[in-house]
Structure 1
Amino acid sequence: MIQRRTAVALLASPLLLTGCGAGAEATERRTPGGRPAPTATPVPEITAERAPQGIPGLGPERSAALPDRCEQAVVVTGRGRNSPLCTVVLHQRSATGWQAGPRWPGHNALRGWSAHHLSGDLRSPLGVYTLSDAGGLLADPGSRLPYHHSGGFHSPGTGFEGEPLDGSFDYVVAIDYNRRRGTSPLDWTRPLGPARGGGVWLHVDHGGPTHGCVSVAKAHMKELLRTLDPHRHPVVVMGHADWLAG
């Protein structure tokens, strides 16, 4: 599907007209004095290969893990393996390559990242995961993903730095780690078993580290909900910078 759109975009460009349109006049043009008229300087052909195709910061292994049909990728870049701080960027694929959105500050788990996430390890799971379902305590703000509105998204208590957690789950997007796709984020089915944790979400930032989720500001969560499109097969690519570069 992506290649087809690229081809259409290239054929539509006035710089790339060839064949009938460009070769209709085959006779040589001359000036009134009989000398050949100067010809236009050839315009270099523009091809899709000249456009940046990859996502900055992702190495060959992580790039290869993106599904072929994926056109939206939320890239979560942690500061370090044991850091709870990260940056979140939504990338969208077009005919000319991946286009990056704004950089949003965020939080991940208190102890950083893990390649083998376990319940209670206070680390976020490294990986590339699909994004299929959303929900929240507040009414649907215009989500393209299936949205599950429920009072079950209430988040009482305080975080690791004493900050209130109230409102953290006003908007969430379930990360498809150890969960059943096509269900509410509140569904606690764990295909890998309960020991491997679960309930890993993108949610509203409360100003401190999470137990395993990734959090950004409320306005950014609303933007994600309104932008992530199931027909564009969105994913999240999450991990510390060194791992993402692999």
Structure 2
Amino acid sequence: MRLGEGRRAGAATVTAVLLCAALAACGGARAERGGDGMARAGAQGGGHSVKGVGATRVPGVGDRMQRRIPVASRQVVVVYGDGKDAAQATVVLYAKRGPNWERVRSWPGHNGKKGWTARHRAGDNRSPVGVFTLTDAGGVLADPGTRLPYTRAASFAAPHWWAKSHWHDFDYVIAIDYNRVKGAPPDDPTRPEGEERGGGIWLHMDHGSGTSACVSVSRGAMEQLLRTLDPDEHPVVVMGDRAALKA
């Protein structure tokens, strides 16, 4: 048994009301029903390898964001939003090899349906811009082989009164450490900075359109991220629209 697994299993039994509040930030609680459910071209694929010459800086990330990446971090997931008000993004996994950042894999994805903001608030349908650690994972499905602490629970399942295209959103999730308690399961509803700041921001499986604030990618992408991210490498996500990332 993984160290602390018993504590996590207990935490995952939060009440249905609190759980729905946590899930709402990530997907379809406010999703329009009647969408066509079709992903952007290639969004359901497994991504493609883009290994190449490394760089000493994470590409497309300006000084302000570069300085926020912890010195110890050797894995970075960058979410390059298409635009401030756009819901489409490209998600790229980088690994640090010696002094260089190597681009390992990329996938199409989605972010908040109204785009991005540096001042995220609950219900604004925008994803928060920033650099956040990645410390905890979970979902409906069994652990696919991640090194991250993983909480499996049926309670992650999206309610079936949501649009059918959202039912598998939370089969796999990785918590983005925005206004949450690190080391807690992703569905822990605690908001240290207050409810108005929002929370429950996750990497999760894509349903083919924008989210309420999370970042979504295909199942194949989630499986690879879960199998690759390693707490010993201090992984972080750097996320925002391309202009904000370069600033």
Task: Give the TM bin, normalised by the shorter chain.
Answer: 0.7 to 0.9
| Partner Cα distance (2:164, 2:139) in 1 | 20
Q: Which range moves more in the overlay, 137-146 or 93-102?
A: 93-102
Letter paired with 1:198: G
- CA distance 1:148–1:240, change in 2 (3 Å): same
Shift of 1:245: 0.6
Contact kept in structure 2, 1:157 and 1:164, CA below 8 Å = no
Structure 1: how far apart are the matches of 2:125 and 2:161?
Answer: 16
Q: How far does residue 83 in structure 1 lie from its aligned partner after superposition?
A: 0.3
TM-score computed with the length of structure 1 as normaliser:
0.77
After superposition, where does 1:96-111 map in structure 2 within 5 Å? 96-111=99-114
Pick the aligned partner of 2:144 from 131, 141, 145.
141
Query: How far apart in 2 are the matches of 1:212 and 1:112?
Result: 8
Residues in 2 aligned to 1:195 and 1:96: alpha-carbon distance in whole angstroms? 40
Distance 2:164 2:240 in 1: 24
Give the match for residue 241 of structure 2.
Answer: 240
- Look up the match of 1:46: none
Identify the residue that residue 16 of structure 1 maps to in structure 2: none
What is the match of residue 61 of structure 2? 58
2:226 corresponds in structure 1 to: 225
Deviations 1:85-121 (A, max 9, x none): 0000000001140000222000000100011100000
Q: CA deviation at 1:157?
A: 4.8
Q: Which amino acid aligns with 1:93?
A: K
Matched, 1:69 2:69: no
Tell me the SS of whatever aligns to 2:134.
strand
Given residue 76 of structure 1, which amino acid in structure 2 is its aligned partner?
A: V
Q: 1:216 to 1:228 in 2, by over 3 A?
A: same
Counterpart of 1:202, as a letter, is: L
Aligned to 1:197: 198
For 1:143 and 1:208, locate their aligned partners in 2 and report how far apart those are by CA, in whole Å.
Answer: 26
Contact 2:54 2:103 in 1 (8 A): no
1:188 and 2:189 equivalent?
yes
1-side partners of 2:164 and 2:67: how far apart?
A: 39
Which structure's CA Rg is the greater one?
1
Q: Decide whether aligned partners of structure 1 residues 240 and 157 sit closer, same or farther in structure 2, where only a CA change above 3 A counts.
A: farther
Q: Does 1:122 align with 2:122?
A: no
Which 4+ stretches in 1 moved above 4 angstroms? none
Higher RCO, 1 vs 2 (CA within 8 Å, ≥6 residues apart): 2
- Counterpart of 1:58, as a letter, is V
Give the conservation status (yes or no) of the 8 Å contact 2:136–2:182.
yes
Which position in structure 2 is the counterpart of 1:132?
A: 135
Number of aligned positions between the proteins: 195
* CA distances 1:53-108 after superposition (whole Å, capped 9, x unpaired): 01110111111111010100000000000000000000000114000022200000
For 2:197, the aligned partner's letter is: R
Counterpart check, 1:79 vs 2:82 = yes
Distance in 2, Cα, partners of 1:145 & 1:51: 26
Check whether the contact 2:205–2:222 (CA below 8 A) recurs between aligned residues. Answer: yes
Contact 1:163 1:208 in 2 (8 A): no
Native 8 Å contact 1:163 1:207 kept in 2: no
Q: 2:94 touches 2:105 (CA, 8 Å); kept in 1?
A: no
Query: 1:175 is matched with which residue?
Result: 176
2:243 match: secondary structure:
helix
User: Structure 2-normalised TM-score?
Assistant: 0.76
Work out the CA distance in 2 between the residues paired with 1:67 and 1:222: 25
CA distance 1:106–1:158, change in 2 (3 Å)? farther
